Every structure is written in structure tokens, then in C-alpha cells.
């Protein structure tokens, strides 16, 4: 039976591998992946963190949503859609962990959790320390998603699977929050905008306002300080470039059931997002001006 110990044992045996010491082109993980996915992956210079994780899982005989895979954003999407994303603070040994370096909304790197120490996690990663397989200590800010593989006999305490009912727009917002490590409650992606989803999106907007200079406690409560921070930052409107504040508004609109267009949560306050704001304002008795100012912010959050 495939287990966490199997995966971590195989991963530990790879510690010390370096692409620079490999006498063949590319990496051993890339050449393996290239057998089924195209010769490009076996070439030199191709990032191999996800292919390392894929290689380890395959050699352990463990299935995981998103694997085998070589592109971190796709892995995040697959893991969340399969209902296998867990709250990042609940990361356990053997979980697949993804990182975002530049806070652009896309995962950049992936590895395995070896130990969760509470204030940080110890990981085993490929394509780190200048092209090696190595242990790294990682802190919470850069962790964007944790996916739990299908270990035999293991429990799963994640956010639940994606239900077949509920509002599809709300689900889109919930998936995004869950993808980036926010706890949306035990019901998971259920399409219902309950108190856990509300708390998660307030935490999201608080965290991202802090990126623009606010100094908020990320507590999930839209109190006077959170209200004032949104006001001080000027809200968001059509054409705005405050990407993370726009994303927060888009998430909130989705969680209220309003579509923000085919592009989804992209940080672009374009016509579809403006139409969603106008519709939300009209339905909630607000001035219909397409501007997410204080009154609209407080209704959304």
C-alpha cells in the first residue's frame, strides 16, 4: 500500500541530486517526463520542480490531482477542482505544496512537505538551491496552495469536494480562495456564500490591502480599520491597476453570485467587472456608478 513514508523516502533518496552534475542533457526527472509528454521536457534549462514531484509520486505509486504535471498553475487548478486542496496551515508530511514568489496570482514552484513546524514548513524540493534537490524551510506568506495526494488509508481533512449543487459563480470565488490557502469551511466548494466564505474573502482583502501599505490584522472581520484602509486606498473602478484590490472585489462579486466575465479573477477592472458592480449596486439599493467605494465595499464584504 502506497503511503506518505513511501513518498518521503523516495524524495529523501534524491537529496543532493544536481542538474549540473548530470552528464546527460536536462535532468533525470525531465528525461523521464519527456517519454510521455514530449522531448522538450528532457532538454537542458527546463525547470524541473514539478517533474521531480511527478517522478517521486509515480515511483511511489501514489496518485495526486494535477500529476503527472510540469506547470504549477495547472496543478493548482486540478488539485482544487478535485477537492484535494487543504488549508495551508494544516499541511501534513507528504502533502504537495506550491509557492508564489511575486504575488501575481500564479504558482511558481512546488515540492513536498516533510515537516510542519507551525511557524514554517520544512520541504523537499527539486530545482532549488541552484538546480538541486534539497531541503528548504518555507514560511507561510509564499505558500499559495497545499494539495493532498490519495494516500492509502489516509484521512482527508480538507475543504471538502466540489458539490454538484450551489451557484457556479460562488464556487468560482470559493475555489480561488481555497487555492490560495484560505479556509472556506468544512463544506468546501459548495456554491453557498456562508460565514466561512465571507470570513475568507475579508481575510483575502485585508492581506492584499497590506501589500499596498495598510497595516491590518488579518482577522476576517470587516471592522472600522479595514473600512478605513479601503477608503484610504481609494477603492477600485473601471481601468484600475490596483491588481490585488481588483481581484478582491472580483472574488466578492462572484461570492455574491455575479459573474465577472470569462476571464474570471484576473485583476483587470474591465467591462465585465464594471457590469457586475453595476448589477450588484442596483440590486442592493446603492448608487449605480460602477465604483467600489465604501458603501459598495461594505455590502460586498
Q: Which residue has the cell 525531465?
A: 30
Confidence (pLDDT) at 33: 96
Helix (H) or strand (E) holding 143: strand 143-147
In 3-state terms, the chain is what percent helix, strand and coil (to 5)?
40, 15, 45
CATH of domain 168-300: 1.10.101.10
Backbone phi, psi, residue 136, to 5° = -140, 140
Tell which residue, 180, 202, 152, has the closest CA to residue 86: 180
Tell which residue, 198, 203, 280, 212, has the closest CA to residue 245: 212
Q: How many CB atoms lie within 10 A of CB 265?
A: 22
- CA 240 – CA 103 distance, rounded (Å): 18
Q: Which residue has the cell 533525470?
A: 28
Confidence (pLDDT) at 157: 45
Helix (H) or strand (E) holding 116: strand 109-116
Q: Which residue has the cell 484600475?
A: 240
Q: In whole angstroms, how large is the CA radius of gyration of the chain?
A: 21
Question: Whole-prediction pTM value?
Answer: 0.60
| Sites in the chain below the pLDDT cut of 70 | 1-2, 152-165
From the number of C-beta atoms within 10 Å of its C-beta (0-12, 13-18, 19+), residue 51 rates as: buried
Architecture of the domain whose range is 4-147: Alpha-Beta Complex (3.90)
The domain spans of the chain are: 4-147, 168-300
Confidence (pLDDT) at 158: 47
Contact 38, 155 (CB under 8 A): no
Amino acid at each position: 500500500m502506497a503511503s506518505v513514508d513511501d513518498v518521503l523516502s523516495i524524495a529523501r533518496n534524491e537529496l543532493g541530486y544536481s542538474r549540473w552534475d548530470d552528464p546527460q542533457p536536462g535532468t533525470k526527472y525531465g528525461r523521464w517526463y519527456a517519454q510521455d509528454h514530449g522531448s522538450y521536457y528532457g532538454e537542458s534549462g527546463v525547470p524541473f520542480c514539478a517533474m521531480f514531484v511527478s517522478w517521486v509520486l509515480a515511483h511511489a505509486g501514489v496518485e495526486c490531482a494535477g500529476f503527472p504535471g510540469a506547470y504549477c498553475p495547472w496543478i493548482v487548478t486540478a488539485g482544487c477542482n478535485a477537492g484535494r486542496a487543504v488549508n495551508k496551515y494544516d499541511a501534513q508530511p507528504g502533502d504537495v505544496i506550491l509557492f508564489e514568489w511575486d504575488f501575481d496570482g500564479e504558482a511558481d514552484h512546488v515540492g513536498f512537505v516533510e515537516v510542519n513546524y507551525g511557524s514554517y514548513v520544512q520541504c523537499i524540493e527539486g530545482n532549488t538551491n541552484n538546480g538541486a534537490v534539497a531541503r528548504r524551510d518555507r514560511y507561510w506568506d509564499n505558500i499559495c496552495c497545499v494539495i493532498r495526494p490519495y494516500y492509502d488509508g489516509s484521512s482527508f481533512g480538507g475543504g471538502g469536494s466540489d458539490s454538484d449543487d450551489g451557484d457556479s459563480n460562488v464556487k468560482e470565488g470559493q475555489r480561488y480562495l481555497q487555492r490560495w490557502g484560505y479556509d472556506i469551511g468544512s463544506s468546501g466548494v459548495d456554491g453557498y456564500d456562508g460565514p466561512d466564505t465571507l470570513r475568507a474573502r475579508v481575510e483575502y482583502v485585508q492581506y492584499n490591502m497590506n501589500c499596498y501599505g495598510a497595516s491590518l490584522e488579518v482577522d476576517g472581520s470587516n471592522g472600522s480599520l479595514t473600512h478605513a484602509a479601503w477608503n484610504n486606498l481609494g477603492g477600485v473602478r473601471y481601468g484600475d491597476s490596483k491588481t490585488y484590490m481588483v481581484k478582491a472585489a472580483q472574488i466578492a462579486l462572484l461570492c455574491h453570485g455575479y459573474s465577472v466575465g470569462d476571464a474570471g479573477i484576473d485583476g483587470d477592472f474591465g467591462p465585465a467587472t464594471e457590469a457586475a458592480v453595476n448589477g450588484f449596486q442596483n440590486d442592493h439599493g446603492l448608487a449605480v456608478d460602477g465604483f467600489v467605494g465604501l458603501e459598495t465595499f461594505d455590502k460586498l464584504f
